[in-house]
Amino acid sequence: MGKTTLVQCVYNDARVEARFDVRAWVCVWDRSDEAELTREILQSIGCADDTLCDDGCSGLDSLQEKLEKSAASKRFLLVLDDVWIDEGKTEEENRSVWNKVLAPLRSAAVGSKILVTTRMKLVAEVLNAGHVVSLDRLRNDDCWLLLKEVALGGEAMDFPPEVREIVRAIVAKVKGSPLAAKSIGQMIRSTRSTQKLRALMNTEISDSIILSSLQLSYQHLPGHLQRCFAYCSIFPTAWRSDRYSLVKMWMALGFIQPPTEGKRLEDLGQKYFDDLLARSFFGTANKDQQTYYFLDDQMHILAQHFSAHDCMKINEDIPVVIPPTIRHLSVSSDYLPQLKSQYRLGRLRTLLVLRSPSLSSSHFPRKLLAKFKNLRVLDLSESDIAELPETIGQLVHLHYLALCSMTNKLPKSIYRLKHIEVCVPILLFHDNHPGGVRKFVTAKHLKTCCCIRSIEAFDVLNSALLRIQCYGPRINMQT
């Protein structure tokens, strides 16, 4: 219903800026760790990252002491966007977490405020909200203005008389949903045909007006954008992705059409992403001064609806039969051993592995990995896979490889992969493989967060970078 959009208007209002000495905006999502949340608040108010390192010297007590000093005697505005309650904890445990996180703000001046957005009424109770604003659906007149703004790009313009009446009737079908109004506005923007608009007006919309209107919006997408969007259904609902990684996945899978002369494939992929973003298929969120993208609940349902034959997510403890048409799969690491008996694995193009519920470190079954003969994308970034077997060298078609932060050892066979375009993040410079990065000189792109373990490895990095084209974010080196 536009909660974040509304709060952004408040947060950026000149009167609000003038009233508060310090302002902070934190996208909470599903995080419930006191130290992490405190660190996010400090980062938002501009504290240097090197003073907030995640080690013993910057534990919860130290972080909260910094926050208390930063807030002391100042009028403080804190926005906590998209707050959820950890359903694995009791209400008292959840209340305790937030009491600890917010305790340092008691030093702030009178008039300080905390503004929260949430989909859960229980959040208001846990945070002892003094005032609750429930967003209702928009009035038809407001939906009309929003739809017209999206369709025409400005209120000064108007629809031709023969179109205006039809669009008014369409607005009534939106039933106050800003998301549906924006999506239909995008559709109307691309056509002035009264015949097409009447067909849209006469479309039967049942069950959910939002999902139904989004289905129409999806059907109006060009085929290449439909495929790129539907693919995103394999990600969990809480998944946040940077645009660079998602575009690289599309490229690895051959979703990007051959570019015209003078354009790179990556540039065309970025245009695909921008086209979907402009049509409101992706939501945005900020973390650590970076922008991340996600599918909201309705968009996720939409993507699943149109990708059912190609994409699949396997939830925990649910026995499933994987259809032979599935090419893109996401599972938890706990489920990996069961895949061998359930599926002809050679058909997979994407495998996304998520962290196991037990939170224990896992290994990729050696014989299982060798089955993925046609795999193009292997994403372990959100898993607990700490070590890969030598059989990864058999994945000769692999283009995109993303490893989790726990990975501390790479098999030597990984250097046989001649088509790797992205490794995120990957310890190519570990002492176990000195000079290993030289063996990746055929790689087109290398995005990596490197932990340099020795002076020799640092020298290897300098010489190797002279021979590797690096696109995307700069390499982050920590000494």
25-75 tens-digit pLDDT:
998 876 778 888 998 899 888 886 656 665 444 588 889 999 999 999 999
> What pLDDT does residue 204 have?
44
Could you tell me which residues come within 8 angstroms of residue 55 by beta carbon, excluding any fewer than 6 positions away? none
Q: Is residue 451 part of a domain?
A: no
281 vs 306: CA distance, rounded Å: 14
Q: 185 and 81: one domain?
A: no
Look at residue 321 and tell me if it is in a domain: no
Is pLDDT of 228 > 50?
Answer: yes
Q: What does DSSP say about strands 422-424 and 328-332: parallel, antiparallel, or unpaired?
A: unpaired
**Model pLDDT, residue 153:** 77
- Give the model's confidence band at 217: pLDDT under 50 very low, under 70 low, under 90 confident, else very high: confident
Least confident interval from 5-9, 173-177, 360-364:
360-364
The per-residue DSSP string of 12-63 comes to: T-HHHHHH-SEEEEEEEET---HHHHHHHHHHHTT--GGGS-SSGGGSHHHH
Domain that holds residue 44: 3-126
Residues 15 and 122 in one domain: yes
pLDDT of residue 311: 92
How many other CB atoms sit within 10 Å of the CB of residue 146? 21
The verdict on 86 and 200 lying in the same domain is no
How many CA within 13 A on the CB side of residue 158?
Answer: 6
Q: How many domains does the chain have?
A: 3
Q: How far is Cα 371 from Cα 342, in angstroms, rounded to an integer?
A: 12
Q: Is residue 52 in some structural domain?
A: yes
DSSP conformation class of 285: E
Share of the chain above pLDDT 70, in %: 76
Calculate the average pLDDT of the chain: 77
Question: CA 83 to CA 120: how far, in whole Å?
Answer: 8
Instruction: Check residues 403 and 427 and name the one with the higher pLDDT.
Output: 403
pLDDT at 446: 47
Rounded to 5 degrees, what angle do the CA atoms 359, 244, 258 make?
130
What does the pLDDT look like over 108-138, one tens digit per residue?
999 999 999 987 777 888 898 999 998 877 8
> CA–CA separation, 191 vs 173, rounded Å?
19
Residue 301 pLDDT: 83
Q: Which residues neighbour 36 within 8 Å (Cβ) at sequence distance 6 or greater?
A: none
What tokens were used for 135? 């967003």
Per-residue pLDDT reduced to its tens digit, 452-466: 333 444 444 444 444
Same domain, 248 and 202: no
Q: How far apart are CA 294 and CA 232, in angstroms?
A: 9
59-63, 190-194, 216-220, 358-362: lowest mean pLDDT where? 358-362
pLDDT tens digits for range 154-190: 656 678 787 888 888 878 777 777 877 887 787 777 7
Whole-number pLDDT of residue 178: 83
Q: Which residues pair with 118 in a beta bridge?
A: 83
Mean pLDDT is lowest, of 26-35, 99-108, 361-370, for 361-370
| pLDDT for the residue numbered 110 | 94
pLDDT reported for residue 474:
41
104 and 62 inside one domain:
yes
Same domain, 22 and 99: yes
The answer to the question of residue 58 being in a domain is yes
Only one residue has tokens 């999502």, namely: 29
CA distances from 239 to 21, 282, 362, 465 (A): 34, 12, 21, 31
Q: How far apart are CA 8 and CA 112, in angstroms?
A: 18
Residues 6+ apart with CB under 8 A from 229: 218, 221, 276, 281, 303, 306
**Residue 175 within a domain:** yes
Between 249 and 4, the higher pLDDT residue: 249
CA distance 350 to 327: 7
* CATH label of the domain that carries residue 272: 1.10.10.10
| pTM of the predicted protein model | 0.56
Give the whole-number percent of the chain exceeding pLDDT 90. Answer: 22
Has residue 334 got a pLDDT over 50?
A: yes
> Are the CB atoms for 307 and 233 separated by under 8 Å?
yes
At residue 141, what are phi and psi to the nearest 5 degrees?
-65, -40
Mean pLDDT highest for which of 191-205, 244-258, 427-441?
Answer: 244-258
> Please, which pLDDT band fits residue 361 given cuts at 50, 70 and 90?
low
